[in-house]
């Protein structure tokens, strides 16, 4: 081995003398990996806390920010002499790698408007068996100790590798993850496995000492297994802080809506039906709200799967235009939220459900109000006439009594409906029944009037 090193350094010295040009010498040293090279890191936040997040207001803006210039080694590196690779680094667990391929270019083009590579951490190597379960990464059956990730128990599955599905990494490939697991497009999703041959730069685990001060104490991570991590009140406070910044009224934390969201979360997991239509479970938002004894006019439901703390959940909901619109809507005054933990096919699952309730005035059309006002006026005119028929001879008193009862009922109902409409308030269920029944009452009254007039 000593002889080989002597040969290597002798040849390296000869190369430097022959080349003479400092640029060529530097390129040689960069290629061997002896000299490190600065690599730019975009501010997407996928590798936070190891590398900073950008400060822009959108993903596109943050992707254009450069937040760090770590010194990395070109890959592959080293020099092969007499069949031996000197100063070469073999990719190992924990290494940070920079790579670019067709898939990264496709993803970045669609998401950020420009093609680029990714920077991720190598978590599993060829031959390793990987599984994501209960927010943890299992490698070869053991939970990984991951002090570098942004939050404990934050690794849940995606389209490529769902929760509780194990995957053995094939030869020449890596399974990579971002340190900020809840904000990283990586091997869990459409990126899939990464070819080792696609790697351009590597920051070996042993060269990451300067970043360890940014990492967490992971000694208690395992104690979080099978526990709900969300503080619902804190989440609502964060929502209200955002609403205040937009000059919107804060939402009221409503325990009954937390109860209804818990009902929905339970049935979602029990029936494995994570749909707003509740096509399999049969328990809709409206049914859950009714069961929780909450009454209001309009409702909304937003939900997501995963293990979230309050700030992470808000970031997740604001990531999507539809849920952002609901949280910032002026139509809602109340909110409740619940995190429900359960299992589907022996796989731990958590769903977070938020329910919102609110009141908007009905704003009845003037012609609708006028029609009911006219009915009241007409009934008030004809009722005295028919009451006076009590003293008339030859009148069927049984039919007259029925008619008077019908007319009194219609008049009382119509007065209540006019009062409600004039106040621009929604009808109660009882009043809705009155409106629905008025046609029947009118037809019966008309029949009795016709029969009494024919006498």
Where do the structural domains in the chain lie, given as residue ranges?
1-32, 39-224, 232-358, 366-453
Architecture of domain 232-358: 3-Layer(aba) Sandwich (3.40)
Q: Greatest CA separation found in the chain?
A: 136
CB atoms within 10 A of CB 395: 14
pLDDT, position 7: 43
Whole-number Å distance between alpha carbons of 130 and 61? 34
Measuring CA to CA, how many Å separate 21 from each of 16, 25, 27, 334?
8, 6, 10, 72
What is the third-level CATH fold of 39-224?
Umud Fragment, subunit A (2.10.109)
**Strands 129-133 and 136-139, bridge-based pairing:** antiparallel
Tell whether the torsion through CA atoms of 278, 185, 55 and 206 is positive or negative.
positive
Is residue 237 within a helix (H) or strand (E), and if so which, with residue range?
A: helix 232-245
Q: What is the pTM of this model?
A: 0.68
121 in Cβ contact with 176 (< 8 Å): yes
pLDDT, position 85: 62
CA angle 217, 220, 226 (to 5 degrees): 135
Whole-number Å distance between alpha carbons of 107 and 344? 31
CA angle 216, 218, 220 (to 5 degrees): 130
Rounded (10°) CA dihedral 178, 181, 182, 184: 20
The number of helices, as runs of H, and strands, as runs of E, in the chain is: 12, 19
Whole-number Å distance between alpha carbons of 111 and 48? 19
Q: What is the pLDDT along the chain (455 residues), one digit of tens a residue?
A: 444 454 445 445 545 544 545 655 555 555 655 678 999 999 999 999 999 999 988 889 999 999 999 999 999 977 766 666 666 789 999 999 999 999 999 999 999 999 999 999 999 999 999 999 999 999 999 999 999 999 999 998 999 999 999 999 999 999 999 999 988 999 999 999 999 999 999 999 999 999 999 999 999 999 988 888 899 999 999 999 999 999 999 999 999 999 999 999 999 999 999 988 988 888 999 999 999 999 898 999 999 988 888 998 998 898 788 999 999 999 999 999 999 999 999 999 999 999 999 988 889 999 999 999 999 999 999 999 899 887 777 788 899 999 999 999 999 999 999 999 999 988 888 999 999 999 999 999 999 999 888 86
Burial grade of 403 (CB within 10 A; 0-12, 13-18, 19 or more)? buried
Residues in the chain, how many? 455
């Amino acid at each position: 081995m000593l002889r080989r090193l002597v040969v290597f350094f002798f040849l390296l010295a000869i190369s430097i003398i022959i080349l003479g040009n400092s640029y060529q010498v530097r390129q040689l040293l960069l290629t061997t990996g002896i000299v490190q090279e600065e690599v730019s890191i975009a501010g997407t936040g996928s590798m936070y806390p190891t590398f900073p997040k950008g400060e822009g207001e959108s993903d596109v803006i943050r992707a254009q920010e450069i937040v760090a210039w770590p010194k990395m080694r070109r890959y592959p590196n080293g020099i092969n002499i007499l069949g031996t690779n000197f100063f070469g680094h073999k990719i190992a667990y924990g290494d940070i790698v920079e790579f670019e391929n067709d898939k990264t270019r496709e993803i970045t083009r669609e998401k950020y408007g420009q093609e680029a590579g990714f920077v991720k951490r190598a978590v599993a190597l060829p031959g390793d068996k990987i599984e994501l379960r209960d927010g943890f990464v299992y490698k070869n059956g053991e939970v990984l100790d991951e002090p570098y990730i942004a939050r404990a128990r934050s690794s849940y599955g995606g389209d490529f590798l769902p929760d509780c599905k194990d995957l053995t990494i094939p030869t020449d490939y890596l399974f990579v993850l971002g340190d900020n697991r809840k904000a990283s497009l990586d091997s869990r999703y459409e990126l899939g496995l990464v070819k080792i041959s696609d790697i351009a730069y590597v920051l070996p685990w042993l060269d990451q000492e300067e970043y360890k001060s940014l990492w967490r104490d992971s000694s208690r991570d395992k104690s979080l297994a099978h526990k709900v991590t969300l503080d619902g009140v804190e989440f609502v406070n964060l929502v209200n802080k955002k609403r205040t910044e937009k000059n919107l009224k804060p939402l009221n934390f409503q325990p009954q809506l937390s109860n209804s969201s818990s009902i929905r979360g339970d049935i979602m997991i029990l029936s494995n039906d994570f749909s707003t239509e509740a096509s399999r479970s049969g328990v809709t938002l409206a049914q859950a709200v009714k069961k929780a004894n909450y009454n209001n006019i309009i409702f909304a439901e937003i939900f997501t799967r995963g293990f979230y703390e309050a700030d992470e959940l808000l970031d997740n909901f604001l990531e999507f235009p539809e849920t952002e619109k609901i949280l910032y809507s002026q139509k809602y005054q109340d909110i409740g939220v619940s995190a429900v933990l359960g299992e589907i096919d022996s796989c731990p699952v958590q769903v977070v459900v938020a329910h919102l309730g609110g009141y908007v005035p009905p704003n009845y059309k003037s012609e609708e109000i006028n029609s009911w006002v006219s009915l009241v006026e007409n009934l008030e005119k004809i009722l005295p006439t028919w009451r006076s028929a009590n003293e008339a001879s030859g009148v069927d008193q049984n039919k007259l009594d029925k008619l008077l009862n019908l007319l009194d009922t219609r008049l009382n109902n119509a007065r209540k409906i006019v009062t409600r409409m004039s106040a621009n308030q929604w009808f109660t269920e009882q009043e809705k029944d009155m409106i629905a029944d008025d046609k029947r009452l009118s037809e019966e009254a008309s029949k009795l009037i016709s029969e009494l007039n024919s006498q």
